[in-house]
Amino acid sequence: MAAMKVLTRILTDEVPGGFRITMETDDGQMIQVFATENQVSDLADELDELLDDDEAELTEEQEHVGEEQPS
């Protein structure tokens, strides 16, 4: 498997029948994919879930910071 690349930019365009997603990596490589509305919706749901998980972790950390520490 090829080494993972770093995403530097993502563009989306509506095209007949769905969406064109263009991704650019840190080495300048451009990747274009076609996605249906359902695929974009599923991707958005997955990203929301990932971000919600991160938000929950931050909330937990903030709660622990506010707790009194024993002397």
- Domain of 31 in residue numbering reads as 7-65
> Is position 22 within any domain?
yes
Which has the closest alpha carbon to 11: 28, 1, 24?
Answer: 24
pLDDT at position 40 is 98
Q: pLDDT digit string (tens) for 20-65? A: 999 999 999 999 999 999 999 999 999 999 999 866 666 666 666 6
Asked if the structure places residue 2 within a domain, the reply is no
| pLDDT value, residue 4 | 94
Q: What is the pTM of this model?
A: 0.68
Report CA-CA distances (Å) from 64 to 31, 67, 68, 70, 71.
Answer: 42, 5, 9, 13, 16
Closest CA to 7 of 25, 33, 29, 32: 25
CB atoms within 10 A of CB 35: 17
Q: Is residue 59 in some structural domain? A: yes
Confirm whether 51 is domain-assigned. Answer: yes
Q: Is residue 16 part of a domain?
A: yes
Tell me if 70 is assigned to some domain. no
Higher pLDDT, 67 or 22: 22
- The position carrying tokens 């910071």 is 65
Residue 1 lies in a domain: no
Counting the structural domains of the chain, the total is 1
